[in-house]
Structure 1
Protein backbone atom coordinates (compact mmCIF):
# COMPACT_ATOMS: atom_id res chain seq x y z
CA UNK A 1 0.00 0.00 0.00
CA UNK A 2 2.78 2.27 0.99
CA UNK A 3 4.62 1.44 -2.18
CA UNK A 4 1.59 2.36 -4.23
CA UNK A 5 1.27 5.62 -2.38
CA UNK A 6 4.89 6.39 -3.02
CA UNK A 7 4.47 5.51 -6.68
CA UNK A 8 1.45 7.76 -6.95
CA UNK A 9 3.30 10.55 -5.20
CA UNK A 10 6.25 10.17 -7.53
CA UNK A 11 3.96 10.23 -10.52
CA UNK A 12 2.31 13.40 -9.26
CA UNK A 13 5.69 14.95 -8.64
CA UNK A 14 6.80 13.99 -12.14
CA UNK A 15 3.70 15.52 -13.66
CA UNK A 16 4.10 18.67 -11.62
CA UNK A 17 7.78 18.83 -12.46
CA UNK A 18 6.99 18.41 -16.11
CA UNK A 19 4.46 21.16 -15.87
CA UNK A 20 6.87 23.43 -14.09
CA UNK A 21 9.55 22.71 -16.70
CA UNK A 22 7.17 23.34 -19.55
CA UNK A 23 6.04 26.59 -17.98
CA UNK A 24 9.64 27.63 -17.39
CA UNK A 25 10.49 26.88 -21.01
CA UNK A 26 7.52 28.89 -22.16
CA UNK A 27 8.49 31.82 -19.95
CA UNK A 28 12.06 31.62 -21.22
CA UNK A 29 10.84 31.71 -24.81
CA UNK A 30 8.58 34.62 -24.02
CA UNK A 31 11.48 36.36 -22.38
CA UNK A 32 13.60 35.86 -25.49
CA UNK A 33 10.77 37.14 -27.67
CA UNK A 34 10.40 40.14 -25.43
CA UNK A 35 14.13 40.87 -25.55
CA UNK A 36 14.02 40.53 -29.34
CA UNK A 37 11.11 42.94 -29.52
CA UNK A 38 12.87 45.39 -27.23
CA UNK A 39 15.96 45.22 -29.43
CA UNK A 40 13.84 45.74 -32.54
CA UNK A 41 12.00 48.67 -31.00
CA UNK A 42 15.27 50.17 -29.82
CA UNK A 43 16.81 49.73 -33.26
CA UNK A 44 13.80 51.28 -34.93
CA UNK A 45 13.93 54.17 -32.49
CA UNK A 46 17.64 54.66 -33.20
CA UNK A 47 17.02 54.53 -36.93
CA UNK A 48 14.14 56.98 -36.61
CA UNK A 49 16.31 59.31 -34.58
CA UNK A 50 19.12 59.01 -37.14
CA UNK A 51 16.67 59.78 -39.94
CA UNK A 52 15.39 62.75 -38.00
CA UNK A 53 18.92 64.03 -37.46
CA UNK A 54 19.74 63.47 -41.16
CA UNK A 55 16.56 65.21 -42.21
CA UNK A 56 17.29 68.13 -39.92
CA UNK A 57 20.77 68.33 -41.39
CA UNK A 58 19.41 68.28 -44.93
CA UNK A 59 16.94 71.03 -44.06
CA UNK A 60 19.69 73.13 -42.51
CA UNK A 61 21.92 72.53 -45.55
CA UNK A 62 19.10 73.47 -47.89
CA UNK A 63 18.50 76.63 -45.87
CA UNK A 64 22.22 77.49 -46.09
CA UNK A 65 22.32 76.79 -49.83
CA UNK A 66 19.18 78.86 -50.33
CA UNK A 67 20.73 81.76 -48.43
CA UNK A 68 23.97 81.47 -50.45
CA UNK A 69 22.09 81.35 -53.73
CA UNK A 70 20.00 84.32 -52.66
CA UNK A 71 23.15 86.34 -51.94
CA UNK A 72 24.53 85.40 -55.37
CA UNK A 73 21.28 86.40 -57.08
CA UNK A 74 21.35 89.78 -55.33
CA UNK A 75 24.58 90.82 -57.11
CA UNK A 76 23.73 89.37 -60.52
CA UNK A 77 21.66 92.34 -61.80
CA UNK A 78 24.71 94.63 -61.75
CA UNK A 79 26.66 92.00 -63.67
CA UNK A 80 23.89 91.75 -66.27
CA UNK A 81 23.80 95.54 -66.60
CA UNK A 82 27.55 95.66 -67.26
CA UNK A 83 27.23 92.78 -69.72
CA UNK A 84 24.55 94.68 -71.64
CA UNK A 85 26.76 97.79 -71.71
CA UNK A 86 29.67 95.68 -73.03
CA UNK A 87 27.41 94.25 -75.72
CA UNK A 88 26.60 97.81 -76.81
CA UNK A 89 30.32 98.63 -76.84
CA UNK A 90 30.96 95.61 -79.07
CA UNK A 91 28.27 96.82 -81.46
CA UNK A 92 29.88 100.27 -81.53
CA UNK A 93 33.28 98.72 -82.28
CA UNK A 94 31.98 96.79 -85.29
CA UNK A 95 34.04 97.65 -88.35
CA UNK A 96 36.35 99.90 -86.32
CA UNK A 97 38.55 97.85 -83.99
CA UNK A 98 39.20 94.17 -83.39
CA UNK A 99 37.52 93.04 -80.15
CA UNK A 100 37.95 89.27 -80.56
CA UNK A 101 40.08 88.95 -77.40
CA UNK A 102 37.60 90.98 -75.38
CA UNK A 103 34.72 88.83 -76.62
CA UNK A 104 36.54 85.64 -75.58
CA UNK A 105 37.22 87.06 -72.13
CA UNK A 106 33.59 88.14 -71.75
CA UNK A 107 32.25 84.69 -72.66
CA UNK A 108 34.60 83.02 -70.17
CA UNK A 109 33.55 85.44 -67.44
CA UNK A 110 29.87 84.90 -68.19
CA UNK A 111 30.28 81.12 -67.91
CA UNK A 112 31.90 81.57 -64.50
CA UNK A 113 28.93 83.57 -63.27
CA UNK A 114 26.39 81.09 -64.67
CA UNK A 115 28.08 78.25 -62.77
CA UNK A 116 28.38 80.13 -59.47
CA UNK A 117 25.88 79.23 -56.72
CA UNK A 118 27.62 80.04 -53.46
CA UNK A 119 30.03 82.99 -53.51
CA UNK A 120 28.65 86.45 -54.34
CA UNK A 121 32.25 87.70 -54.37
CA UNK A 122 32.87 85.70 -57.54
CA UNK A 123 30.05 87.57 -59.29
CA UNK A 124 31.28 90.93 -57.98
CA UNK A 125 34.77 90.21 -59.35
CA UNK A 126 33.27 89.12 -62.68
CA UNK A 127 31.29 92.36 -62.84
CA UNK A 128 34.52 94.33 -62.41
CA UNK A 129 36.10 92.30 -65.22
CA UNK A 130 33.24 93.04 -67.62
CA UNK A 131 33.39 96.73 -66.66
CA UNK A 132 37.13 96.79 -67.41
CA UNK A 133 36.57 95.10 -70.78
CA UNK A 134 33.92 97.68 -71.67
CA UNK A 135 36.24 100.53 -70.73
CA UNK A 136 38.99 99.00 -72.86
CA UNK A 137 36.72 98.65 -75.88
CA UNK A 138 35.36 102.19 -75.44
CA UNK A 139 38.91 103.57 -75.33
CA UNK A 140 39.94 101.64 -78.45
CA UNK A 141 36.91 102.91 -80.35
CA UNK A 142 37.55 106.48 -79.16
CA UNK A 143 41.15 106.18 -80.34
CA UNK A 144 40.01 104.95 -83.72
CA UNK A 145 37.60 107.87 -84.00
CA UNK A 146 40.34 110.35 -83.10
CA UNK A 147 42.51 108.89 -85.84
CA UNK A 148 39.68 109.21 -88.34
CA UNK A 149 39.08 112.80 -87.33
CA UNK A 150 42.78 113.58 -87.69
CA UNK A 151 42.88 111.88 -91.06
CA UNK A 152 39.93 113.93 -92.27
CA UNK A 153 41.59 117.09 -90.98
CA UNK A 154 44.88 116.44 -92.81
CA UNK A 155 45.37 119.31 -95.27
CA UNK A 156 46.20 118.91 -98.93
CA UNK A 157 45.57 116.09 -101.42
CA UNK A 158 46.73 112.56 -100.62
CA UNK A 159 49.19 112.64 -103.49
CA UNK A 160 50.66 115.27 -105.78
CA UNK A 161 53.92 114.89 -107.72
CA UNK A 162 54.38 111.26 -106.69
CA UNK A 163 51.00 110.19 -108.01
CA UNK A 164 48.52 107.60 -106.83
CA UNK A 165 50.91 104.66 -107.08
CA UNK A 166 53.49 106.37 -104.88
CA UNK A 167 50.86 107.19 -102.30
CA UNK A 168 49.54 103.61 -102.38
CA UNK A 169 53.00 102.20 -101.68
CA UNK A 170 53.66 104.52 -98.74
CA UNK A 171 50.14 103.94 -97.44
CA UNK A 172 50.71 100.18 -97.55
CA UNK A 173 53.94 100.56 -95.59
CA UNK A 174 52.26 102.68 -92.92
CA UNK A 175 49.43 100.18 -92.60
CA UNK A 176 51.94 97.35 -92.39
CA UNK A 177 53.77 98.83 -89.39
CA UNK A 178 50.55 99.41 -87.45
CA UNK A 179 49.41 102.80 -88.72
CA UNK A 180 46.11 101.76 -90.27
CA UNK A 181 43.72 104.72 -90.09
CA UNK A 182 46.47 107.30 -89.48
CA UNK A 183 46.14 110.24 -91.86
CA UNK A 184 48.75 110.35 -94.66
CA UNK A 185 49.41 112.71 -97.54
CA UNK A 186 52.24 113.79 -99.80
CA UNK A 187 54.03 117.06 -99.06
CA UNK A 188 57.43 118.61 -99.58
CA UNK A 189 57.10 120.83 -96.51
CA UNK A 190 58.79 118.56 -93.92
CA UNK A 191 61.71 120.62 -92.60
CA UNK A 192 61.51 122.77 -95.71
CA UNK A 193 61.72 119.70 -97.91
CA UNK A 194 64.93 118.37 -96.36
CA UNK A 195 63.19 115.65 -94.35
CA UNK A 196 61.67 112.71 -96.25
CA UNK A 197 58.72 112.41 -93.85
CA UNK A 198 57.36 113.94 -90.67
CA UNK A 199 54.56 113.48 -88.16
CA UNK A 200 52.13 116.14 -87.05
CA UNK A 201 50.89 116.50 -83.50
CA UNK A 202 47.32 116.51 -84.86
CA UNK A 203 47.78 112.84 -85.71
CA UNK A 204 48.75 112.61 -89.38
CA UNK A 205 51.95 111.94 -91.36
CA UNK A 206 53.38 113.71 -94.39
CA UNK A 207 55.85 112.17 -96.84
CA UNK A 208 58.03 113.41 -99.65
CA UNK A 209 57.30 111.81 -103.04
CA UNK A 210 60.73 110.26 -103.54
CA UNK A 211 60.48 107.90 -100.54
CA UNK A 212 58.06 105.83 -102.59
CA UNK A 213 61.13 104.56 -104.46
CA UNK A 214 62.88 103.34 -101.30
CA UNK A 215 63.35 99.67 -100.55
CA UNK A 216 60.62 97.95 -98.55
CA UNK A 217 62.86 97.69 -95.48
CA UNK A 218 63.81 101.35 -95.49
CA UNK A 219 60.26 102.52 -96.22
CA UNK A 220 58.84 100.35 -93.45
CA UNK A 221 61.36 101.79 -91.01
CA UNK A 222 60.52 105.37 -92.06
CA UNK A 223 56.79 104.83 -91.47
CA UNK A 224 57.42 103.03 -88.14
CA UNK A 225 59.60 105.96 -87.09
CA UNK A 226 56.93 108.54 -87.96
CA UNK A 227 54.20 106.45 -86.36
CA UNK A 228 56.34 106.38 -83.21
CA UNK A 229 56.19 110.20 -83.15
CA UNK A 230 52.37 110.03 -83.32
CA UNK A 231 52.42 107.88 -80.18
CA UNK A 232 54.90 110.24 -78.53
CA UNK A 233 52.55 113.17 -79.09
CA UNK A 234 49.82 111.31 -77.22
CA UNK A 235 51.93 111.30 -74.02
CA UNK A 236 53.97 114.41 -74.77
CA UNK A 237 53.61 116.11 -71.40
CA UNK A 238 54.47 113.12 -69.24
CA UNK A 239 57.16 112.07 -71.70
CA UNK A 240 59.10 115.30 -71.40
CA UNK A 241 58.65 115.31 -67.63
CA UNK A 242 60.19 111.85 -67.33
CA UNK A 243 63.65 111.67 -65.76
CA UNK A 244 64.17 108.25 -67.37
CA UNK A 245 63.50 109.74 -70.82
CA UNK A 246 66.11 112.40 -70.21
CA UNK A 247 68.58 109.86 -68.84
CA UNK A 248 68.15 107.15 -71.48
CA UNK A 249 67.53 109.27 -74.58
CA UNK A 250 68.81 112.71 -73.66
CA UNK A 251 65.31 114.06 -74.25
CA UNK A 252 65.70 113.40 -77.99
CA UNK A 253 62.40 112.29 -79.60
CA UNK A 254 64.20 111.21 -82.80
CA UNK A 255 66.43 108.81 -80.89
CA UNK A 256 63.40 107.50 -79.01
CA UNK A 257 61.47 107.06 -82.28
CA UNK A 258 64.34 104.99 -83.68
CA UNK A 259 64.24 102.73 -80.63
CA UNK A 260 60.44 102.49 -80.81
CA UNK A 261 60.68 101.42 -84.46
CA UNK A 262 63.36 98.87 -83.54
CA UNK A 263 61.21 97.15 -80.91
CA UNK A 264 58.50 96.81 -83.56
CA UNK A 265 61.03 94.99 -85.76
CA UNK A 266 62.05 97.88 -88.02
CA UNK A 267 65.69 98.75 -87.45
CA UNK A 268 67.25 102.01 -88.61
CA UNK A 269 70.85 103.13 -88.69
CA UNK A 270 70.94 103.97 -84.97
CA UNK A 271 71.06 101.13 -82.42
CA UNK A 272 69.55 100.97 -78.92
CA UNK A 273 70.59 98.92 -75.93
CA UNK A 274 68.28 96.59 -74.02
CA UNK A 275 67.26 99.15 -71.39
CA UNK A 276 66.42 101.72 -74.05
CA UNK A 277 64.37 99.22 -76.04
CA UNK A 278 62.47 98.07 -72.96
CA UNK A 279 61.63 101.65 -72.01
CA UNK A 280 60.73 102.66 -75.58
CA UNK A 281 58.28 99.77 -75.94
CA UNK A 282 56.07 101.32 -73.25
CA UNK A 283 55.38 104.42 -75.34
CA UNK A 284 53.58 102.28 -77.92
CA UNK A 285 50.95 101.51 -75.30
CA UNK A 286 50.93 104.94 -73.66
CA UNK A 287 53.09 103.97 -70.68
CA UNK A 288 55.71 106.49 -69.54
CA UNK A 289 57.90 105.12 -66.77
Structure 2
Protein backbone atom coordinates (compact mmCIF):
# COMPACT_ATOMS: atom_id res chain seq x y z
CA UNK A 1 0.00 0.00 0.00
CA UNK A 2 2.80 2.32 0.85
CA UNK A 3 4.55 1.57 -2.41
CA UNK A 4 1.35 2.15 -4.39
CA UNK A 5 0.77 5.49 -2.65
CA UNK A 6 4.31 6.60 -3.43
CA UNK A 7 3.87 5.72 -7.09
CA UNK A 8 0.63 7.66 -7.22
CA UNK A 9 2.30 10.70 -5.81
CA UNK A 10 5.14 10.39 -8.29
CA UNK A 11 2.74 10.00 -11.21
CA UNK A 12 0.70 12.99 -10.09
CA UNK A 13 3.84 15.03 -9.76
CA UNK A 14 5.00 14.02 -13.21
CA UNK A 15 1.64 14.97 -14.69
CA UNK A 16 1.72 18.34 -13.00
CA UNK A 17 5.28 18.92 -14.14
CA UNK A 18 4.37 17.92 -17.68
CA UNK A 19 1.41 20.33 -17.70
CA UNK A 20 3.61 23.16 -16.50
CA UNK A 21 6.15 22.49 -19.21
CA UNK A 22 3.44 22.48 -21.87
CA UNK A 23 1.98 25.74 -20.59
CA UNK A 24 5.42 27.33 -20.62
CA UNK A 25 6.05 26.09 -24.13
CA UNK A 26 2.75 27.57 -25.30
CA UNK A 27 3.54 30.88 -23.64
CA UNK A 28 6.98 30.96 -25.23
CA UNK A 29 5.49 30.19 -28.65
CA UNK A 30 3.00 33.04 -28.25
CA UNK A 31 5.77 35.41 -27.23
CA UNK A 32 7.82 34.29 -30.23
CA UNK A 33 4.86 34.88 -32.53
CA UNK A 34 4.33 38.34 -31.04
CA UNK A 35 8.00 39.18 -31.46
CA UNK A 36 7.94 37.96 -35.07
CA UNK A 37 4.79 40.02 -35.80
CA UNK A 38 6.32 43.10 -34.23
CA UNK A 39 9.54 42.55 -36.19
CA UNK A 40 7.58 42.24 -39.41
CA UNK A 41 5.69 45.44 -38.61
CA UNK A 42 8.97 47.22 -37.95
CA UNK A 43 10.43 45.87 -41.20
CA UNK A 44 7.35 46.99 -43.17
CA UNK A 45 7.47 50.42 -41.51
CA UNK A 46 11.18 50.64 -42.31
CA UNK A 47 10.51 49.68 -45.93
CA UNK A 48 7.81 52.33 -46.24
CA UNK A 49 10.09 54.90 -44.66
CA UNK A 50 12.89 53.96 -47.04
CA UNK A 51 10.57 54.13 -50.04
CA UNK A 52 9.37 57.53 -48.92
CA UNK A 53 12.96 58.64 -48.41
CA UNK A 54 13.90 57.34 -51.86
CA UNK A 55 10.91 59.16 -53.39
CA UNK A 56 11.78 62.41 -51.68
CA UNK A 57 15.40 62.03 -52.71
CA UNK A 58 14.31 61.50 -56.30
CA UNK A 59 12.03 64.52 -56.19
CA UNK A 60 14.83 66.65 -54.79
CA UNK A 61 17.20 65.46 -57.50
CA UNK A 62 14.63 66.24 -60.19
CA UNK A 63 13.96 69.68 -58.69
CA UNK A 64 17.67 70.39 -58.47
CA UNK A 65 18.12 69.24 -62.07
CA UNK A 66 15.21 71.42 -63.25
CA UNK A 67 16.58 74.37 -61.31
CA UNK A 68 19.99 73.88 -62.88
CA UNK A 69 18.44 73.66 -66.36
CA UNK A 70 16.38 76.80 -65.83
CA UNK A 71 19.42 78.63 -64.52
CA UNK A 72 21.35 77.54 -67.61
CA UNK A 73 18.55 78.80 -69.88
CA UNK A 74 18.38 82.12 -68.04
CA UNK A 75 22.13 82.48 -68.39
CA UNK A 76 22.02 82.38 -72.21
CA UNK A 77 18.86 84.43 -72.68
CA UNK A 78 20.54 87.87 -72.41
CA UNK A 79 22.63 87.07 -75.50
CA UNK A 80 19.44 86.29 -77.41
CA UNK A 81 17.86 89.52 -76.19
CA UNK A 82 20.87 91.48 -77.48
CA UNK A 83 20.60 89.83 -80.89
CA UNK A 84 16.84 90.33 -81.22
CA UNK A 85 17.24 93.99 -80.18
CA UNK A 86 19.95 94.54 -82.80
CA UNK A 87 17.80 92.83 -85.41
CA UNK A 88 14.80 95.00 -84.57
CA UNK A 89 16.86 98.18 -84.83
CA UNK A 90 18.21 97.12 -88.22
CA UNK A 91 14.75 96.22 -89.52
CA UNK A 92 13.37 99.60 -88.43
CA UNK A 93 16.30 101.38 -90.05
CA UNK A 94 15.90 99.47 -93.30
CA UNK A 95 12.51 101.05 -93.92
CA UNK A 96 11.32 100.14 -97.42
CA UNK A 97 14.83 99.70 -98.77
CA UNK A 98 14.56 95.91 -98.79
CA UNK A 99 11.81 93.37 -98.25
CA UNK A 100 12.33 92.12 -94.69
CA UNK A 101 9.03 90.28 -94.22
CA UNK A 102 10.57 86.80 -94.49
CA UNK A 103 13.45 87.66 -92.17
CA UNK A 104 11.05 89.27 -89.69
CA UNK A 105 8.86 86.13 -89.62
CA UNK A 106 11.90 83.94 -88.97
CA UNK A 107 13.01 86.17 -86.09
CA UNK A 108 9.52 86.10 -84.54
CA UNK A 109 9.53 82.30 -84.76
CA UNK A 110 12.92 82.17 -83.01
CA UNK A 111 11.64 84.51 -80.30
CA UNK A 112 8.60 82.33 -79.67
CA UNK A 113 10.85 79.28 -79.39
CA UNK A 114 12.99 80.99 -76.76
CA UNK A 115 9.95 82.15 -74.77
CA UNK A 116 8.63 78.58 -74.67
CA UNK A 117 11.95 76.96 -73.71
CA UNK A 118 12.72 76.44 -70.00
CA UNK A 119 15.00 73.43 -69.87
CA UNK A 120 17.47 73.25 -72.73
CA UNK A 121 19.94 76.14 -73.10
CA UNK A 122 21.10 74.70 -76.43
CA UNK A 123 17.73 75.65 -77.93
CA UNK A 124 18.24 79.27 -76.90
CA UNK A 125 21.82 79.27 -78.17
CA UNK A 126 20.64 77.95 -81.54
CA UNK A 127 17.89 80.61 -81.73
CA UNK A 128 20.47 83.29 -80.91
CA UNK A 129 22.65 82.09 -83.77
CA UNK A 130 19.64 82.15 -86.09
CA UNK A 131 18.77 85.76 -85.27
CA UNK A 132 22.43 86.78 -85.61
CA UNK A 133 22.51 85.24 -89.07
CA UNK A 134 19.28 87.05 -89.97
CA UNK A 135 20.77 90.35 -88.82
CA UNK A 136 23.84 89.80 -90.98
CA UNK A 137 21.65 88.88 -93.95
CA UNK A 138 19.48 91.98 -93.66
CA UNK A 139 22.59 94.11 -93.14
CA UNK A 140 24.10 92.76 -96.35
CA UNK A 141 20.89 93.41 -98.29
CA UNK A 142 20.62 96.96 -96.98
CA UNK A 143 24.28 97.65 -97.77
CA UNK A 144 23.81 96.31 -101.29
CA UNK A 145 20.73 98.45 -101.78
CA UNK A 146 22.46 101.56 -100.44
CA UNK A 147 25.46 100.99 -102.69
CA UNK A 148 23.15 100.81 -105.68
CA UNK A 149 21.79 104.27 -104.90
CA UNK A 150 24.96 105.92 -106.25
CA UNK A 151 24.69 104.12 -109.58
CA UNK A 152 22.25 106.52 -111.21
CA UNK A 153 22.77 109.78 -113.12
CA UNK A 154 23.67 112.72 -110.94
CA UNK A 155 25.16 110.61 -108.14
CA UNK A 156 23.22 109.23 -105.17
CA UNK A 157 19.50 108.59 -105.52
CA UNK A 158 18.84 110.79 -102.52
CA UNK A 159 20.57 113.30 -100.28
CA UNK A 160 18.42 115.47 -98.04
CA UNK A 161 15.23 113.40 -98.39
CA UNK A 162 17.04 110.39 -96.92
CA UNK A 163 16.29 106.71 -97.51
CA UNK A 164 12.82 106.91 -95.95
CA UNK A 165 11.82 109.91 -98.05
CA UNK A 166 13.17 108.27 -101.17
CA UNK A 167 11.34 105.05 -100.33
CA UNK A 168 8.06 106.96 -100.05
CA UNK A 169 8.45 108.64 -103.45
CA UNK A 170 9.61 105.34 -104.93
CA UNK A 171 6.51 103.62 -103.59
CA UNK A 172 4.30 106.28 -105.20
CA UNK A 173 5.99 105.85 -108.58
CA UNK A 174 5.66 102.08 -108.33
CA UNK A 175 1.98 102.44 -107.40
CA UNK A 176 1.11 104.44 -110.52
CA UNK A 177 2.87 101.96 -112.83
CA UNK A 178 6.48 103.18 -112.90
CA UNK A 179 8.21 100.25 -111.19
CA UNK A 180 10.87 100.02 -113.91
CA UNK A 181 11.58 103.76 -114.10
CA UNK A 182 14.68 105.27 -112.48
CA UNK A 183 14.11 107.78 -109.69
CA UNK A 184 16.55 110.30 -108.20
CA UNK A 185 16.39 113.25 -105.85
CA UNK A 186 17.49 116.52 -107.41
CA UNK A 187 16.98 120.24 -106.97
CA UNK A 188 17.62 120.88 -110.66
CA UNK A 189 14.05 120.63 -111.98
CA UNK A 190 13.37 124.07 -113.49
CA UNK A 191 16.12 125.47 -111.31
CA UNK A 192 14.46 124.04 -108.21
CA UNK A 193 11.07 125.66 -108.86
CA UNK A 194 9.43 122.43 -110.13
CA UNK A 195 8.76 119.68 -107.58
CA UNK A 196 9.59 116.94 -110.08
CA UNK A 197 10.53 116.42 -113.70
CA UNK A 198 10.98 113.64 -116.24
CA UNK A 199 14.09 113.11 -118.34
CA UNK A 200 13.98 112.01 -121.96
CA UNK A 201 16.51 109.32 -121.07
CA UNK A 202 13.76 107.55 -119.12
CA UNK A 203 14.13 108.55 -115.47
CA UNK A 204 12.39 110.93 -113.06
CA UNK A 205 13.87 113.44 -110.62
CA UNK A 206 12.11 114.85 -107.59
CA UNK A 207 12.68 117.70 -105.15
CA UNK A 208 13.28 116.52 -101.57
CA UNK A 209 10.30 118.28 -100.01
CA UNK A 210 7.69 116.31 -101.98
CA UNK A 211 8.57 113.26 -99.88
CA UNK A 212 6.40 114.93 -97.22
CA UNK A 213 3.37 115.39 -99.48
CA UNK A 214 0.13 113.50 -98.89
CA UNK A 215 -0.12 110.10 -100.53
CA UNK A 216 -2.82 111.30 -102.93
CA UNK A 217 -0.82 114.31 -104.08
CA UNK A 218 2.41 112.33 -104.31
CA UNK A 219 0.74 109.64 -106.43
CA UNK A 220 -0.62 112.30 -108.76
CA UNK A 221 2.82 113.89 -109.13
CA UNK A 222 4.44 110.56 -110.02
CA UNK A 223 1.63 109.69 -112.46
CA UNK A 224 2.13 113.09 -114.11
CA UNK A 225 5.89 112.60 -114.47
CA UNK A 226 5.47 109.02 -115.65
CA UNK A 227 3.13 110.37 -118.34
CA UNK A 228 6.01 112.50 -119.64
CA UNK A 229 8.19 109.37 -119.92
CA UNK A 230 5.55 107.83 -122.18
CA UNK A 231 5.26 111.08 -124.15
CA UNK A 232 8.99 110.98 -124.88
CA UNK A 233 8.56 107.52 -126.40
CA UNK A 234 6.24 108.95 -129.11
CA UNK A 235 7.59 112.49 -129.10
CA UNK A 236 7.94 112.95 -132.85
CA UNK A 237 4.52 111.67 -133.82
CA UNK A 238 2.96 113.40 -130.83
CA UNK A 239 4.14 116.85 -131.88
CA UNK A 240 3.00 116.19 -135.44
CA UNK A 241 -0.54 115.25 -134.44
CA UNK A 242 -3.28 117.76 -135.18
CA UNK A 243 -5.43 116.38 -132.33
CA UNK A 244 -2.63 117.10 -129.87
CA UNK A 245 -2.68 120.75 -130.86
CA UNK A 246 -6.45 121.08 -130.99
CA UNK A 247 -7.25 119.16 -127.79
CA UNK A 248 -4.24 120.18 -125.67
CA UNK A 249 -2.91 123.27 -127.46
CA UNK A 250 0.35 121.37 -127.89
CA UNK A 251 0.98 121.56 -124.13
CA UNK A 252 2.72 118.42 -122.76
CA UNK A 253 1.92 119.46 -119.18
CA UNK A 254 -1.80 119.61 -119.89
CA UNK A 255 -1.58 116.25 -121.70
CA UNK A 256 0.33 114.75 -118.74
CA UNK A 257 -2.44 115.89 -116.40
CA UNK A 258 -5.04 114.19 -118.57
CA UNK A 259 -2.94 111.04 -118.80
CA UNK A 260 -2.76 110.99 -114.99
CA UNK A 261 -6.55 111.33 -114.83
CA UNK A 262 -6.87 108.29 -117.10
CA UNK A 263 -4.71 106.32 -114.66
CA UNK A 264 -7.01 107.35 -111.80
CA UNK A 265 -4.89 110.17 -110.34
CA UNK A 266 -6.61 113.51 -111.12
CA UNK A 267 -4.84 116.76 -110.38
CA UNK A 268 -6.20 120.27 -110.19
CA UNK A 269 -6.77 120.53 -113.95
CA UNK A 270 -9.81 118.75 -115.33
CA UNK A 271 -10.09 116.94 -118.66
CA UNK A 272 -13.20 116.29 -120.72
CA UNK A 273 -14.19 112.94 -122.17
CA UNK A 274 -12.58 113.54 -125.58
CA UNK A 275 -9.31 114.66 -124.01
CA UNK A 276 -9.21 111.63 -121.73
CA UNK A 277 -9.95 109.26 -124.62
CA UNK A 278 -7.13 110.68 -126.72
CA UNK A 279 -4.68 110.86 -123.78
CA UNK A 280 -5.27 107.19 -122.95
CA UNK A 281 -3.70 106.22 -126.29
CA UNK A 282 -0.32 107.68 -125.28
CA UNK A 283 -0.05 105.16 -122.46
CA UNK A 284 -0.02 102.38 -125.06
CA UNK A 285 2.09 104.23 -127.63
CA UNK A 286 -0.79 105.20 -129.90
CA UNK A 287 -1.00 108.71 -131.38
CA UNK A 288 -4.26 109.19 -133.24
TM-score for the superposition, normalised by structure 2: 0.48
Larger Cα Rg: Structure 1 or Structure 2? Answer: 2
TM-score for the superposition, normalised by structure 1: 0.48
